[in-house]
Amino acid sequence: MRVKWIQTCQEVTAVFLLIFVLAACGSKVNESNYAKIEIDMTEEQVRTLLGAPTESSSINVAGVSGTSLKWVSKEGTINVQFLNGKVKAKAFSKPSGTK
């Protein structure tokens, strides 16, 4: 029984260590990845680059669809606007108090 408990503790410790290491790898939301976003990229390409957005909103009027996606991390915020599924505008901002 004691051996099984020790093995379980080791497994739990390994899982927490893996989570910590993955979190330490850094966010995809940074200036380097922002620079890779190009006008006319698809929404899928941007999601592949940055991962799931923090916020999103969409509108569809007379057959024209617009989507705004936002990714937020401690390194900054990336906003991307799509028109009919393609990048038309983008912006990067650093958190206040950073240079």
Report residue 87's pLDDT band, with 50, 70 and 90 as the boundaries: very high
Strand order in the sheet with 64-73: 55-61, 64-73, 76-83, 86-93
6-60 confidence digits (pLDDT tens): 777 577 665 544 444 444 456 899 999 999 999 999 999 999 999 999 999 999 9
Classify domain 28-93 at the CATH topology level. Beta-lactamase Inhibitory Protein; Chain:B, domain 1 (3.30.1450)
Q: Cα–Cα–Cα angle for 19, 80, 71, nearest 5°?
A: 20
Q: Domain ranges in the chain?
A: 28-93
Average pLDDT over residues 80-98: 92
77 confidence band (pLDDT: 50, 70, 90):
very high
Distance CA(18)–CA(14), nearest Å, equals 6
